[in-house]
Amino acid sequence: MSHTSSGFGKIARHDNLFQEHVHDAYKEKGKLHEPSVCMQCGAVFHNGRWQWLAAPKDAHRVTCPACHRMNDHYPAGFVTLKGEFFSSHRDEIMSLVRHHEQREREEHPLQRIMAIEAKPDDTLLTTTDIHLARGIGEALHHAYQGKLEYHYNSEQDLLRVNWEH
């Protein structure tokens, strides 16, 4: 595997098959019974995906992968925000971040911000999903430009996003 300057690894395929070597303890081990409802957040697994629906009375009670990650304090995504522009526009930028998460979470219940750690020079967001971390970085870059970097660790299925402006 060779690495690109963006931190992503290129995968060499010799047999036209890609064998996933990542073991994600937060993905379901088998097919969930339908319907299933998360005992913590109330999301419902129906038609093969997690959704915000009213839970049927006969739904199986489970813990969804996002709540499982939050309980374990084990994020899939890290987003670091820093720079002079960020410091002087922190409230406006954090409003965009929260709005982006709310929009994504409405359609994808497993995409959530786990924690926000604000320090004097930067802010660290942790997410339950790598796609939300990437989406936050892209939304910030689209709105404000700046320097955006992604670093993906395929062994841990972990994404680190750095945005500086």
- Domain ranges within the chain, ordered by starting residue: 24-69, 75-164
Are the C-beta atoms of residues 45 and 35 closer than 8 Å to each other? yes
Using 50, 70 and 90 to split pLDDT, how confident is the model at 107? very high
Q: Peptide bond before 109: cis, by omega within 30 degrees of 0?
A: no
Global pTM? 0.82
**CA distances in angstroms from 61 to 32, 41, 44, 105, 138, listed in the order given:** 10, 11, 9, 21, 35
pLDDT tens figures, 7-59? 444 334 344 443 444 556 666 666 888 999 999 999 999 999 999 999 999 99
Q: Go through 49-85 and write b for each residue having 16 or more CB atoms within 10 A of its CB, e for each that does not.
A: ebeebebeeebeebebbbbbbbeeeebbbbbbbbbee
Spatial strand order of the sheet with 158-164 comes to 113-118, 122-127, 77-82, 158-164, 147-153
pLDDT tens figures, 110-165? 999 999 999 999 999 999 999 999 999 999 999 999 999 999 998 888 999 999 99
φ and ψ at 152, to 5 degrees?
-105, 130
